[in-house]
Structures are given as C-alpha cells and as structure tokens.
Amino acid sequence: MAKDILILAEHLNGKLADITFEMVGKAKELAAGFGGKAVAVLLGNGVKSLAESIGADSVLYVDDAALAQFNPEAYGRLLAALIQERNPRVVMIGNTSIGMDLAAGLSVMTDLPLIAYVNGLAADGGTLAATSQIYGGKIQAEALPDGEACIVACLAGAFPADTGKGSAPVEQIASPAPLDDLKVNFVKLIEPEGGDVDITQQPILVSIGRGIGGQENIELAQELADALGCAVSSSRPITDAGWLPKTRQVGKSGLTVTPKVYLAFGISGAPEHLEGMRGAETIVAVNTDSKAPIFDVAHYGATCDMLDLLPALTEKIKG
Amino acid sequence: MAVGLDKVKPEAITEDKHLVVQGMDISGHWNRMFEQRVSWDYDVDNLDRVTDLPGGESLAWCYGCAKCTAVCPVDIVGDYSPRKIHRKTQMGVDLFNSDDLWLCTTCMNCLRVCPKEVNMIQIMPAVREQAVLEGTTVPPELQKAFEDTAKHGNPLGQPQRKRADWTKKVGVPVSIMKDLGRPVDILWYVGSYPSYHPRGNDAACAAARIFNSLGVDFGILGVEEKDDGDSQRLAGEKGLFEMLAEQNIAAFSKYEFSRMVVTGPHEFNAFKNEYPKLGADFKVLHYTRFLVEHLDKLKPMLKKPINLKVTFHDPCYLGRHNGEYDAPRQLLRAIPGVELVEMGRCRENGYCCGGGGGGMWLDSFTKEHTTMRLSERRVREAAEYGADVLAVCCPFEVSRFEDAAKSTGNDELMVRDILELLDESMRG
Amino acid sequence: MNIVVSIKQIPNLTDELEINAEGTGLDHDALQYVLNEFDEHAIEEAVLAKEATGGTVTVIGVDTTGELDGALHTALAKGADSAVKITGDFPRGTDSHTQAKLIADAIRGMSPDIVLTGVQAADDRDGQIGPMIAAHLGVPYVGVVTGVQVKEGKAVVHKEYAGGVMAEFEVALPMVVGVQAAHQPPRYAPVSKIRQIAKTAKIDEVTGGAGPRAGSTVRRMFKPESAGHAEMWEGSPEEVADKIATLLAEKGLVKRG
C-alpha cells in the first residue's frame, strides 16, 4: 500500500468537519499522481453513515464505544498501528485542535517526517512538495520529505471541500490496537455559554483586534455596531483580555462567520483569524500596518487610524 | 490634664538644655523641634517599614505643618497630601498596600515648601519599588505600561521598528544616525510620545521643520532609541529604568555628537540627573533652551502673527525639578501677536498636569480617587484666565489637556506645544 | 507536585522577517528572539497550579540563541523554582524534532508529574514540541488546553475545539499538556525582580547530544504573495468612512443619508 494516502477523517458531535473533505479532495488528486488511492480513516462509535458520506477512494472505519468522543490517546494508538500496518505514502491529518494532538506524536512514534501548517501540496515529479504557512502567516516554506513517506498536517480552508464529498466503498475494520487501559478519559463536552448575540447570524460584523488599543475604546466599535444594527466581534487577543465575551471571537478557536460585510478594524490577520472569516462576502480591513496579512484576504483596505475612523463612520451611518 | 500629656515621660523633658548653633546661643525651654519626637501613642511599625527603606527615611521628619497640603495638586482635587500620608502611616496605615501609594505625581511642589525636606520624590519610588516587587497591588493600567515598555521599548506598546515612522510625514529630511555615518552637532532624542502618539507626532514634525530651517546639524536614533524610563522609575519599576538606561547609553555611545537635545522634560530630567549615575557623560538641553540660543536667527523667521491670548503651563520636570522657567516664555514672547498671560499657579508654584511619576498610566485609577482629573483642574484654570491657547512643552501634556478641555466643556481652548506654535508662525 | 515547563524562543514576529541568501530559511542573525507567547501561558498555568496545589516548577529549554538565560530568569521571577538550559551546537531555528528529543532526554530523569508547554510556536514547521515530548516519554498528551487542575495523581484539562466548544478530559499523571491559554493572563515580572534574580539565581546546564532531524528539507522559503488582493483606499478617516458607508449602501445594508 506504499502508494496510498491515508486521511484522518475529523468529526465532532456527529458531523464531519470540513477539513475532512478538504483533505480527501486533495488526497485523491495526489494519489492519482502516485498511482495509489486516497483512503480515509474514520474513528468513532456508530459512524457508518458518516463514513458513507466521504468521497474518498475507500473509507476504513473503526467502530468502538471507546471512540464515541475524540480521545487523543486512543486516536494516537490506532493511527500509529494503522500506519505501521499499512505503510502509506502520505498521512494527512488536520492542523486543527484534534490533529495538533496527534500528528507530532505520530511522527515520533512511527519515525515518519512531519510537515505541519500545510496550505499547499503538490506531487512534483513523483515527489511530494508541501508548503507550510509559518511565522504567523508571514512566511511560506516549501519542503520535501527526506524519505518517500511522510505525515502532513493541513490547515483548515487550504483546499476546496467539494471534491472530497460524495461516497466510497466503506469497510469496517477491527481496532488495530487495544483500547482498554486508556490513561486519558473523556468526561464531557462543554458548550459555549449562550445568551449572547450570535455573531454567525449577522449581515455585518464590526470586528476588532489589538489595534483597538484599550478596553475603553471598545465602546467606539459598539457605537458603530449600534448604528449599523449589527454586532461587534473580535480576534482572539480581545476575548483573551476579557474585553469581549468568548462568544464574540472569530477564528480557529472561535467561530466561523460569513457575513455580507466583515469590517476588520485593527486586526493584523493571523492565519487562525483568517480561517474564521475568509468566507465573508466582502471584507474591508483597516490597519495602520500596510503589510498586515489581513490585506491579502480583504477586498478593500485602508491604513488610517481606526480610532479616528470608527467615530467618523458612526457619524456617517447615523446621517 | 490635657489628653495624652500623662504619657510623656517627665525625665525626657529637660528645661535647661544648652545649645549653640552657628555661634548663636539658643538655650531655653525644651523644644521638640531639636530632636525627633518620640511617639509611643501608636504602633509605628508601618512607619518604620517606610523609613527603613533607602530613600524612605525623610517621611519620619514630617512635623505636620501642612504647608505641603496647601500646594499638593492631588489634595486640591482629592484628599491626599504628604502630611496626610505621614499621619496615616504614623497611625498604622500600611502605605505599601494603600491606594494612596499610586496618587503622588512626584511634582515636587511639597518639597519646595517643606521646612523639613520630607522628600516624596524619593519616598514614593522607594515604597512603590517594594510594591512592584511583590506585584500584588500595582494598578493594572500601570502594570500594562511597564509591560509594554519592557516588551516594546515604549509605554504605548507600539512596535519598536516603527519608532521613526513619524519622519515620513515631516516633509523635510530627518537623518537617522545609523544611516548618516558621521558625527553630528545635535543628537535629538525624540522620545516615545513624540515618536508614536498622533499629537506627539505633530510636535516632533514641527521640531524637525524648525531645526531644518535653522540649519541645525542633527540626527535621531530611530529604532535604536528606547523610552528613557524615568517615569517608570518614579512609579516603582527601577529595574526597568536601569535596563532602558543601559540600552540607551549603549546606543548614545555608538555615535559622536556635541550635545543632545530632548523634546520632553522627563527625558531631560533622566539624562541630566539620573543617567550620569549610570555612567552617561554628555550635555543635554531641553528644546526650549536650545531654541532660545538660536533666538536671533529664529525671530526673523516667525512671520505669521498668532493673535491669541496664550498661557503657559510649566512642566514640573522642567520648572521645579530643573529650574527652567524662562526659556519657554522667551520663545512664546518671540512669536508676533502672542499675548502671554500667566495663570495664578505658575512657575515655581505651577500646577501639575497629573502625568508625572507614572500618573500618565494611572488615569482611570486616579480618576476614581479624585473629584476631577488634575488635567481637568488645570484646563479650567487656563479657561478662567481667558486664554485661547494653553501652551505646553512636555509631550505628556498635549493629549492630556486636549482630553481635559473636551471633558470639561472648554472645547474652544486650544492646546499646543510651543513647537507647533513656532512652526505655525514660521510657515506663514 | 513536580511541574516541568518546556519553553522555546522564536523570532519576534513584529520584526521584519528577512529570508537568507539561499532562500531556504530566515536570516536568523538579523532577528531578535523572544519567548514563544504560548510558552508564557504555559509558565503562568504552571505557577497557578503550583499556587493551588503546592509543588515545584522547573523551567527548561534548549538554548538556541545564547540568550535563553533572560527567558529563564523571567520565569523564575514569575514564580518558577528552578531553571535548566540545554546547551550544545544548536543554532537559532533548531527544528522541533531536535528540541523535543533533547528536552525529553533532559527531563526523563526529573520524573515530572506534569509537563506543560505552549500548544504551538510560530516556527513549528516540523510540528509541535509537546506531543513529541509526550511520545518520547511514553505518556499521554492533550493540547489546545485552556485550563489545568491537578489533584491526586490526575489532571483535569479543558481542551478547546472550534466554535468555543470544549471537552473535559481526566488524565492519569504523568502527562504532557499543550497550553493554549492560561486561565488568567500571564503575570508581569518586574524587571527589578528579574535583575535581582539574574544576579543570584543558578541555572543548571545540561549538555545536549546530537538530536534527530526535522525529516524534511526546505527548498524554497518565500513571503506570501502580498497585498494586491485588497484595493487600498487612501485618504483621511472621513474619506475612508465615506467609502465604507457607500459600500454598505450599495449592498443595501444601510440607507445612504
């Protein structure tokens, strides 16, 4: 099976994550070049129907009560065993909250190289070239594994999801490693506190980042949002500082939003943030640093001071 | 018998003590002024903790005359003065954990009038340093300024690499020492607020244009310049000050210059009085004194009259701390049309803007403990004297007073750095 | 409770990052190095755990810059009890695989109850250090964690998923935790205190042997196709505000006054 590509299907709360389809789509394209197959691996409990909705060349699934919820230790054991058993050419794992618990450990356990933060993959004359997005999105590094085989950890949103949807022959396999005596025990899922505005349902978002300067300036953003009849959202540093509730955070560890207009004020555009808002219909970015990565995804940009702009815009909207 | 009198040990009172001071016989009844009063009415452990600190000794010297209370700018808007601090501490209040610790702006008006030389400019930093080391009671906004300064080299938390970005909007060349590669006459230390704050930028740009017109041979350090750290020292972060001083002194010593000119009084104080203790050896001038040297050349360039009533706010660290009252006034008088009016609290008795000694980064904290901001009190005074313009020459002040003018409803009062007024008159 | 924190220095991302002449890596010598922000959270969480349950905190890192002492002194000023640096021929930008192996080898003998480290670093091109240390030590790992509670041989950790959903795990110690954020912002260490500590504190030094390699080779490093995408609006805040208002009106989201 040395030509196959193994993809870890990611799911939470009975739903496959987009990253699964994104990786499967890309894997099919690469596998064709290597003369192998894109084989998705799904670990879970009662997940046959989920397995059937993955558009890979084939889907393997392990069904076990111990896998009812993600468990890094269980996943790590099973994947290490599967990799050793099936000897794939490439292992694709999401560079996500789930995948980041697994890929680097597997690299040590299986002695396979790992290339992480991947947002570009190409079969370059039979060799896999993986491009990583590092240093906060400021640098791209294209690398080749030293041997043939490797693990790649792919960033969410790097590849189109459409080609990974569909169906494939599904095969249930026995757990390739024992799942008793786990030291990591899942206790419960904690849903985010409700009661606040749902920023995923807003037509416009006034989104703020570090550039807001201080907590006292949050009200400038709120006044604009009030005038527009929409909500204030933010990048991670703002909710980390406790200036806005966690429910307002856009990005990897926050929410993914797709408003008609996303107004990004003082947000530099770390990859984790871009992940959560690049799907907005129109993005306007205001940041004093003309080189901020946010301008790469924005449709319109300006480098003026947001603290001057916010009140000016509020005035304009109020008329 | 009067209350407490029975506690005075009779043997401690000596009627016929003989004393000759500077040849003068002042023998007579025992007077407590000659010796430290021994207090056994209270537990003075907390007072001892202060006076045991190097720099904290003089708090014990207070004899409660209250001259300081009359001039303390914080007492005028609140309930705080050195005498009150002494009394509270004497009665057992723990200054190390008291909000009072963060209210002093080290303006020095108390020391000016104190017959006992109780030196709050040494006491407060000494006690604050202990509080900072323990880290439990430092107001968060001040802590943030420390952290920003430690991380980014400036209390505004702006990136170090952007320190010279303001030069892009000047319109005349501003040379950076590293690129210049030759000695200069004047090394201009720009300072953090002129480098980063939008209103500070205005003063920096004005200075650059004035220096340029005067043909001054000058350069700036650009990204090699760090905050002077003096206000952080006075707010209790002595280590941060020392670290910045070492970095700045290393940067200064890389280049040859005859004299240094600074935009701000706090930097002036740091470089004149504090950096030499750490091995710095150069001559420093505040820009007002430097420009007065060039007044003959400058005057004919001031073409456009500014027909306004201008009052001047003496910065504590230029005036009281360093004795410079005249240079700023000479510059203002040189501008055609300017009518200079003095406020009641001026020169040696100038009122504090509230920004010194860390007050710049304690705005919300101080607001909670006073009836109005010190800057608001000052702006009201300027308005009371009918001024159109409040002229300043400290980079802390422009934004403080502009905010205060707005919040007190004195929107029509213009706040301008002297540099901006000179520049405006020159540009015609 | 024997708590170990693994830290790493990375280039200061607010600096302009320059690529070396070969186009295969950063021009490391031109860069200022700072402590990985996530490691600052790991230190904070460790000190909080110590304050809650007692124990000792040991901070350890591979000295790739010759300047690790500063970061270690800062950690000591924040409440760590001892500091260890691994020295040897490890240049700036040493890969994660090498650093993880060196750290795992150095801490194995310390028999830690829990190892905390930042969940990731901006230069983890070959993966994150935390899971690698766990794999070398043969202990479990949970990452993207925003809260750790330790009690009686167990840790209760909260792991973040997308959308603010969190999972709670109970893990038998020892384990390695990848910290996303401490449950309170990292405390400030006064420079006064750091300087005091720098004069007196002893940093244990361990000589590191040869590590593995990243297992992949960068053949081309470049800056992403920048800007271009956004159409830039010049002008004053008022002018920009006008353009935004027009855009919103065109989309029918506001009435144009």
Pairwise CA distance, residues A16 & A164, whole Å: 11
Q: What's the pLDDT score for residue A220?
A: 93
Range with the largest mean pLDDT of A179-193, B145-159, B239-253: B239-253
Do C6 and C80 belong together in one domain?
A: yes
Which residues in chain C are contacts of B132 at CB distance < 8 A? 190, 192
Which residues in chain B are contacts of C187 at CB distance < 8 A? 135
Asked if residues B208 and C160 have their Cβ atoms less than 8 Å apart, the reply is no
How much of chain C, in percent, has pLDDT values that exceed 70? 97
Any chains having at least 3 CB pairs less than 8 A from chain C are A, B
Ranges for all domains in chain A classified under CATH 3.40.50.620: 5-172
Tell me how close the Cα of B150 comes to any Cα of chain C, in angstroms.
8
CA angle at residue C214 from C209 to C219, to 5 degrees?
130
Q: Is residue C214 part of a domain?
A: no
Which stretches of chain C are DSSP H helices?
37-53, 68-78, 96-108, 129-137, 191-200, 237-250
Tell me how close the Cα of C97 comes to any Cα of chain A, in angstroms.
8
Contact at CB, C196 and B135, closer than 8 angstroms: no
| Average pLDDT over every residue of B67-78 | 97
Pairing of strands C216-222, A139-145: antiparallel
Query: Chain C: residue nearest B146 by CA?
Result: C190
Which residue range is the domain that position B13 belongs to? 5-134
**Does the pLDDT value for residue B32 go beyond 60?**
no
Q: Is residue B145 part of a domain?
A: no
Look up residue B242 and give its two tokens. 């020392």
Look up residue C48 and give its two tokens. 């909080």
Q: Is residue B129 part of a domain?
A: yes
Ranges for all domains in chain A classified under CATH 3.40.50.1220: 199-318
**Does the pLDDT value for residue B93 go beyond 70?**
yes
- Which of B269, B293, B317 lies at the terminal end of a domain, its last residue? B293
Instruction: Give the number of domains in chain B.
Output: 3
Q: What's the pLDDT score for residue B29?
A: 56
Q: What is the pLDDT of residues C204-231, one digit of tens each?
A: 999 998 878 889 999 999 988 754 578 8
The DSSP line for B281-304 is ---EEEHHHHHHHTHHHHGGG--S
Scanning C96-135 for CB atoms below 8 A from A yields: 96-97, 100, 119-120, 122-132, 134-135
**Does the pLDDT value for residue C193 go beyond 80?**
yes
Query: Chain A: residue nearest C225 by CA?
Result: A296
Do C20 and C109 belong together in one domain?
A: yes
Does C249 reach chain A within 8 Å, measured CB to CB? no
**Domain containing B158 — which CATH number?**
3.40.50
Contact at CB, B237 and C195, closer than 8 angstroms: no
Lowest mean pLDDT among A186-195, B61-70, B214-223: A186-195
Q: What's the pLDDT score for residue B3?
A: 43
Which residue range is the domain that position C255 belongs to? 224-257
Considering CB atoms only, which of C14, C187, C194 is closest to B161? C14
More confident site: A200 or B200? B200
Do C151 and C231 belong together in one domain?
A: no
Q: Could you tell me which of A156, A249, A266, A288 has the C-alpha nearest to residue A212?
A: A266
Q: What's the pLDDT score for residue B339?
A: 97
**What residues of chain A score a pLDDT lower than 70?**
1, 193-195
Q: Is residue C193 part of a domain?
A: yes
Pairwise CA distance, residues B61 & A256, whole Å: 64
Pairwise CA distance, residues A44 & A92, whole Å: 18
Classify domain A199-318 by CATH number: 3.40.50.1220
Q: What's the pLDDT score for residue C251?
A: 84
Query: Chain C: residue nearest A309 by CA?
Result: C237
**Does the pLDDT value for residue B5 go beyond 50?**
no
pLDDT, averaged across chain C: 92
Residue A290 dihedral angles phi and psi, to the nearest 5°: -65, -15
Contact at CB, A301 and C164, closer than 8 angstroms: no
The DSSP line for A127-153 is EEEEEEEETTTTEEEEEEESSS-EEEE
CB contacts < 8 Å between B and C, how many?
A: 43
Pairwise CA distance, residues C130 & C119, whole Å: 7
Q: What's this model's pTM, rounded to 2 decimal places?
A: 0.84
Considering CB atoms only, which of C15, C188, C190 is closest to B161? C15
Contacts of C124 (CB under 8 A, 6+ apart): A116, A117, A134, C96
Q: What's the pLDDT score for residue B28?
A: 59
- C242-248's contacts with Cβ under 8 Å and 24+ in sequence apart are C242/A316, C243/A300, C243/A302, C244/A263, C244/A284, C244/A300, C244/A313, C244/A316, C245/A313, C245/A316, C245/A317, C247/A261, C247/A282, C247/A284, C247/A300, C248/A204, C248/A228, C248/A261, C248/A317
Q: How far apart are the first and last CA of chain B?
A: 77
Does B100 reach chain C within 8 Å, measured CB to CB? no
Q: Could you tell me which of A152, A241, A233, A248 has the C-alpha nearest to residue A192?
A: A248
More confident site: A203 or C49? C49
Tell me how close the Cα of B203 comes to any Cα of chain C, in angstroms.
20
Contact at CB, C192 and B159, closer than 8 angstroms: no
Q: Is residue C137 part of a domain?
A: yes
Residue in the structure block whose two tokens are 């790649």: A152
Tell me how close the Cα of B152 comes to any Cα of chain C, in angstroms.
10
**Domain containing B16 — which CATH number?**
1.10.1060
- Which of B233, B267, B293 lies at the terminal end of a domain, its last residue? B293
**Does the pLDDT value for residue B174 go beyond 50?**
yes
Q: Is residue B147 part of a domain?
A: no
More confident site: B39 or A250? A250
Which residues in chain C are contacts of B229 at CB distance < 8 A? none
**Domain containing C46 — which CATH number?**
3.40.50.620
Do C53 and C143 belong together in one domain?
A: yes
**Does the pLDDT value for residue B7 go beyond 80?**
no
Which stretches of C115-212 are DSSP H helices?
129-137, 191-200
Q: What is the pLDDT of residues C121-158, one digit of tens each?
A: 999 999 999 999 999 999 999 999 999 999 889 999 99
Q: Could you tell me which of C103, C2, C111 has the C-alpha nearest to residue C57?
A: C2
Displacement of CA A102 from its chain's centroid (Å): 15
Which residues in chain C are contacts of B133 at CB distance < 8 A? 190, 192-193, 196
pLDDT, averaged across chain B: 92
Which residues in chain B are contacts of C193 at CB distance < 8 A? 133, 135, 239
Q: What's the pLDDT score for residue C255?
A: 63
Q: Is residue C213 part of a domain?
A: no
Q: What's the pLDDT score for residue A281?
A: 86
Contact at CB, C188 and B135, closer than 8 angstroms: yes
Which residues in chain A are contacts of C126 at CB distance < 8 A? 107, 113-116
Any chains having at least 3 CB pairs less than 8 A from chain A are C
Pairwise CA distance, residues A150 & B11, whole Å: 93
Do C197 and C109 belong together in one domain?
A: yes
Instruction: Give the number of domains in chain C.
Output: 2
- A186-189's contacts with Cβ under 8 Å and 24+ in sequence apart are A186/A68, A186/A69, A186/A70, A186/A71, A186/C167, A186/C168, A186/C169, A187/C156, A187/C167, A187/C168, A187/C169, A187/C170, A188/C167, A188/C168, A189/A13, A189/A69, A189/C165, A189/C166, A189/C167, A189/C168
Contact at CB, B242 and C191, closer than 8 angstroms: yes
Contact at CB, B135 and C187, closer than 8 angstroms: yes
Q: Is residue C134 part of a domain?
A: yes
Asked if residues B97 and B135 have their Cβ atoms less than 8 Å apart, the reply is no
Contact at CB, C97 and A115, closer than 8 angstroms: no
Fold of A5-172: Rossmann fold (3.40.50)
Q: Is residue B142 part of a domain?
A: no
Tell me how close the Cα of C137 comes to any Cα of chain B, in angstroms.
35
| Average pLDDT over every residue of C98-107 | 97
Q: Is residue C216 part of a domain?
A: no
Do C91 and C31 belong together in one domain?
A: yes
ipTM: 0.90
Predicted confidence band at B1 (pLDDT cuts at 50, 70, 90)? very low
Considering CB atoms only, which of C136, C171, C223 is closest to A184? C171
Q: Is residue B351 part of a domain?
A: yes
Contact at CB, C167 and A309, closer than 8 angstroms: no
Pairwise CA distance, residues B262 & B285, whole Å: 6
Scanning B221-260 for CB atoms below 8 A from C yields: 237-240, 242-243
CB contacts < 8 Å between A and C, how many?
A: 300
- Which of B102, B134, B166 lies at the terminal end of a domain, its last residue? B134
